[in-house]
């Protein structure tokens, strides 16, 4: 019996599929399901989105979205936190945010899960930078380290509690250290 050769889905075909839980991304013709967020990942994602929105939304500078699908440059990925400057938020005719975001984030933040490939996440951040993102963060809760990616392909490591994390120019009023970021993980005093 002859088998037909495997034909990968196109990006357009992928976008017609029902959403999965956890979400799936389309990268280089492959469908890759993201791992389900666990405690540390979820807490950092929620708190970081809240802190960024408190600093950026009131003056209509930018908006931080959790798990927002962005489709551009032949990929459809879902950064853990996607920050779009206010003027770049795609809107429909009613002035409401579009359901389909067909552009790159201005700032892409990924939070590494224990079973997630750091290489794959890094490639997603670099893809964003290649298409116009101003900055990318890769937060590693287990190592308590933040890798900051800047265009064209520079990476800086921040792992000291007093290290102030760099932000894009539009987010200059966001002030956060490595120590503050990872202090959010402590929800009750350690057991002695």
Q: What is the CATH number of the domain that holds 64?
A: 3.90.1570.10
Confidence check: pLDDT of 5 > 70: no
Please indicate, yes or no, if residue 2 is contained in any of the structural domains: no
Please indicate, yes or no, if residue 127 is contained in any of the structural domains: yes
Q: Please give the C-alpha separations between residue 135 and each of 108, 127, 146, in angstroms, as whole numbers.
A: 7, 11, 12
Confidence check: pLDDT of 86 > 70: yes
Please indicate, yes or no, if residue 132 is contained in any of the structural domains: yes
The mean pLDDT value for 146-175 works out to 95
- Tens of pLDDT, residues 8-67: 788 999 889 898 888 898 998 888 888 888 899 999 999 999 999 999 999 999 999 999
**Distance of alpha carbon 1 from alpha carbon 76, whole angstroms:** 36
The mean pLDDT value for 125-145 works out to 96
Please indicate, yes or no, if residue 76 is contained in any of the structural domains: yes
Number of domains in the chain: 1
Question: Which two tokens mark 12?
Answer: 């357009």
CB 60 within 8 A of CB 91: no
Please indicate, yes or no, if residue 31 is contained in any of the structural domains: no
Which residues span the domain enclosing 172?
Answer: 36-183
CB 146 within 8 A of CB 138: yes
pTM for the full model? 0.91
């Amino acid at each position: 019996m002859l088998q037909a050769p495997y034909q990968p889905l196109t990006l357009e075909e992928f976008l017609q599929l029902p959403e999965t839980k956890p979400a799936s991304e389309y990268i280089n013709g492959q469908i890759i399901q993201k791992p389900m967020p666990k405690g540390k990942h979820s807490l950092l994602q929620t708190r970081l989105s809240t802190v960024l929105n408190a600093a950026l939304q009131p003056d209509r500078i930018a908006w931080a979205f959790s798990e927002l699908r962005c489709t551009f440059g032949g990929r459809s990925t879902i950064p853990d936190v996607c920050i779009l400057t206010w003027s770049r938020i795609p809107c429909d005719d009613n002035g409401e945010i579009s359901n389909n975001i067909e552009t790159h984030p201005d700032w892409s933040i990924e939070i590494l899960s224990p079973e997630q490939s750091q290489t794959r996440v890094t490639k997603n951040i670099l893809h964003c930078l290649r298409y116009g993102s101003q900055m990318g963060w890769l937060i590693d809760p287990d190592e308590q380290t933040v890798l900051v990616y800047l265009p064209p392909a520079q990476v800086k490591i921040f792992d000291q509690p007093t290290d102030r994390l760099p932000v894009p120019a539009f987010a200059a009023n966001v002030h956060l250290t490595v120590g503050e970021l990872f202090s959010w993980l402590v929800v009750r005093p350690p057991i002695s």
